[in-house]
């Protein structure tokens, strides 16, 4: 039974939920009940995630297509132009916090799906891949040529600019490092927290072809 005068989703409702979560969070972990102890530990693990949703009202796009039950969500298809121009879906721009005019890094996708990921310097610095910025400091300060890939073992890294309208453009030679060619249809997917993924091959592409509702961007 909800409290009189408090509408679900309102600021007062969020404040009430926040108060309940904080109250549970601040209670001592000590208890002789194993189930309650486990619950409190799990609550602490997800505490900051829950707070982020309530305070910022950040809600992931529920209109995205989930390719398989329990699998990845897809934004749609992005066609690679003849000049290497690729569209970033608006929903992905918002969810990953990208903005027009921002410098972003391009990193390799998985071996299974190929393609690449787009990430920011802030996200990259918080990941194990931050070692590449130490190895190539000129990359971290965007002093290398825009779009020129730097190889480190089997991996390729470069930076580029998000253009007006939510596009990036990569040289054809650089695209080759990520197994991508002009005319390819890349599947933009919600990857890890590190990067927005653009897959080009593998089972995920085959499954996506069974979803005609996926949007097309170019």
pLDDT tens per residue across span 76-91: 999 999 999 999 999 9
Greater confidence (180 vs 2) lies with 180
Q: Which domains are present in the chain?
A: 11-56 (no CATH), 65-217 (3.40.1550.20)
Find residue 198's DSSP bridge partners: 116, 188
Closest CA to 158 of 106, 116, 123: 106
* pTM recorded for the entire structure: 0.70
Q: Please, are residues 98 and 120 in contact by the beta-carbon 8 Å criterion? A: yes
């Amino acid at each position: 039974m909800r409290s009189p005068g408090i509408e679900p989703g309102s600021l007062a409702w969020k404040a009430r939920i926040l108060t309940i979560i904080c109250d549970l969070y601040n209670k001592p972990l000590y208890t002789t009940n194993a189930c309650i102890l486990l619950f409190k530990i799990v609550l602490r693990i997800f505490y900051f995630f829950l707070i982020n949703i309530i305070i910022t009202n950040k809600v992931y796009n529920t209109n995205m297509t989930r390719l398989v039950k329990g699998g990845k969500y897809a934004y749609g298809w992005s066609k690679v132009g003849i000049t290497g121009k690729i569209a970033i879906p608006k929903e992905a721009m918002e969810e990953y916090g990208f903005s027009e005019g921002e410098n972003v890094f391009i990193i390799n996708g998985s071996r299974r799906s190929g393609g690449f990921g787009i990430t920011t310097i802030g996200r990259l610095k918080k990941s194990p891949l931050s070692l590449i910025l130490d190895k190539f400091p000129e990359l971290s300060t965007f002093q290398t040529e825009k779009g020129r890939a730097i190889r480190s073992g089997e991996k390729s890294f470069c930076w580029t600019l998000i253009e007006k309208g939510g596009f990036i453009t990569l040289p054809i030679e650089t695209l080759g490092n990520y197994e991508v060619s002009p005319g390819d249809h890349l599947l933009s997917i919600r990857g890890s927290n590190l990067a927005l993924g653009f897959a080009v091959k593998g089972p995920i592409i085959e499954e996506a072809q069974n979803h005609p509702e996926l949007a097309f961007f170019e």
